[in-house]
Amino acid sequence: MFNGILPEIIISIAALFFFGCALFDYKKIFPWAVGFGVAATLANLVSLHEQHAFFHGAFMVDGFSRFFSFLICASFLLACVIAGKLRQTDQEKVGEFFFFVSIGTLGLLLVTGATELLTLFIGLEISSYPLFIVASYRKGLGFQFESVAKYMVFGAVSMAFMLYGITYMYGAFGSTFFADIIPAIPNHLDDPMAILGVILFMAGLLYKLAAFPFHFWAPDVYAGAAAEVVAFIAALPKLAAVALLVRVSSMFMGMDGLVPVLTILSILSMTLGNLMALAQNELKRLLAYSAVSHAGYIMLGLLAPGDGGLQAALFYGAVYALMTLAAFLIAIEVAGEEHDIPLENLRGLWKRSPSLAIMLAVTFISLAGLPPMAGFTGKLFLIMSVWKAGYFWPVLAAVLNTLLGSFYYLRVIKISLVGGKEEEQPLVLPIYVRPLAVALGLLILFLGLMPGSLLNLAGAAIAVL
């Protein structure tokens, strides 16, 4: 039975190990972080086809939770590798850094398997507070304190919304288990307590996804935190949010009045995110508004649960995490010892590091949703599923926003390929960066050309719900 929670056990051991390293000032942590990430990722394969209920059914290990557990552990591994080049000024707290991100990852794993509202809330709390702390990891940055304060305040408010929602839902349905709540929703369509509970619960969830109108924290946090930290914040919680959205999708799809609201929020997230990204001249802020727009695309899949929309949302969530981590690998190497990453710093990247420039082109073409990359395939699946479900306006909005987003993504690629001084010094990259860049670029291309394997895994995960 313990095979079912082997990834969680490994991440827990990792957290205890990193706590000890911080306590005894042990600095050679990077290989251990990678090792724990590899072990946790492989451990998911052991329990891939197992199904166990823990804590009286409050936590479920099944194909759905293992799908997201694998993605989160793999993203944890990649984020640890990306964070390997911690700046010299940050080395003194490297133990604390990996301790907190391990605890945050453990909370996200709890979220993916939660089948009950209080277990879910505890998982979100466990994942949130460590990320609040690591967001302030870099010392001596005045703007950073403002961004961390916003992150904590918005996070606390969103958790309050969700907790109030859970309270009202328990009062209306008499249970905190999804299996009891979802079938009872058709009988509570006129119950104000039930409707208010679901709305407040969804508000907290959309904060985690950084979707409109709960996206205001993202630009300042992305810009204020160190790039190594933002790699975690941008990828891992988004995967858990997608898992939770899909698991409870039938909850709000059963309320007809919430479907138009979800449609409008999806369109506004795509549009506002892209419009704001057009005006950005700093890479991390641009990626923050890009995250808002991608949240809108993911929400599209929820409109077509019976037409492959949920499967497409899982596929796109996985691809988005991959693209985001690839983008931050580039950002960290370009930034060097600097905190901000103006787009002008990318100018002439082709001359300084052709491999990074090629990877940037592959990643941003995929983020734009252009063929033949994985981002294009993911958006195509989402748009096709929503079209089959009979939604015209969301499809039109998605297509137009893909064209709109292409402007700023291609602008970044153009800056990296042209200009620069003739005597530009080549970037000195850690030994692992080039192979990792090539591997991520090839994986993005592979999933664009041959998406069947990941799509089938997503379909199998949906089938157990």
Q: What is the pLDDT of residues 424-461, one digit of tens each?
A: 677 777 778 888 888 999 999 999 999 988 998 888 88
**What's the pLDDT tens digit per position in 244-262?**
888 888 766 667 677 888 8
Q: Of 2-11, 40-49, 60-69, which one has max mean pLDDT? A: 60-69
* 403 or 420, higher pLDDT: 403
Q: 319 phi and psi, to 5 degrees?
A: -65, -40
Confidence grade of residue 334 (pLDDT, cut at 50, 70, 90): confident
pTM of the model: 0.92
CA distance 160 to 55: 25
Quick one: average pLDDT of 384-391?
89
The number of domains in the chain is 1
DSSP line for 46-62: HTTT--EEETTTTEEES
Q: Which of 67, 16, 19, 62 is nearest to 41 (CA)?
A: 67
The conformation of residue 282, written as its DSSP 8-state character, comes to B
Beta-carbon count within 10 A of 144 CB:
21
Mean pLDDT is lowest, of 6-20, 171-185, 414-428, for 414-428
Confidence grade of residue 89 (pLDDT, cut at 50, 70, 90): very low
- Predicted confidence at residue 70, as pLDDT, reads 92
Question: How many CA atoms lie less than 13 Å away from 386 in the CB half-sphere?
Answer: 30
Quick one: average pLDDT of 43-62?
80
Quick one: average pLDDT of 191-210?
87
Cβ atoms of 75 and 235 closer than 8 Å: yes
- Predicted confidence at residue 2, as pLDDT, reads 67
Provide the mean pLDDT of the chain. 85
pLDDT at 83 over 60: yes
pLDDT at 379 over 80: yes
Q: Which of 151, 158, 157, 164 is nearest to 117 (CA)?
A: 164
Q: Which of 145, 273, 279 is nearest to 220 (CA)?
A: 145
Residue 24, C-beta contacts closer than 8 angstroms, at least 6 positions apart: none
Residue with tokens 């892209």: 274
**Residues spanned by the domain of 174:** 2-463
Q: Of 125-134, 273-282, 305-314, which one has max mean pLDDT? A: 273-282
pLDDT at 192 over 70: yes
- Give me the percent of the chain exceeding a pLDDT of 90: 29
- Predicted confidence at residue 321, as pLDDT, reads 93
Quick one: average pLDDT of 220-229?
82
Confidence grade of residue 142 (pLDDT, cut at 50, 70, 90): very low
- Predicted confidence at residue 351, as pLDDT, reads 81
- Predicted confidence at residue 400, as pLDDT, reads 94
**What's the pLDDT tens digit per position in 17-44?**
888 887 765 567 778 888 888 998 888 8
pLDDT at 90 over 70: no
Helices (H) and strands (E) in the chain, counts: 20, 2
Cis peptide before 237 (omega within 30 of 0): no
- Predicted confidence at residue 135, as pLDDT, reads 79
What per-residue string of b and e applies to 327-363 under the rule 16 or more CB within 10 Å gives b? bbbbbbbbbeeebebebebbbbbbbbbeebbbbbbbb
pLDDT at 169 over 70: yes
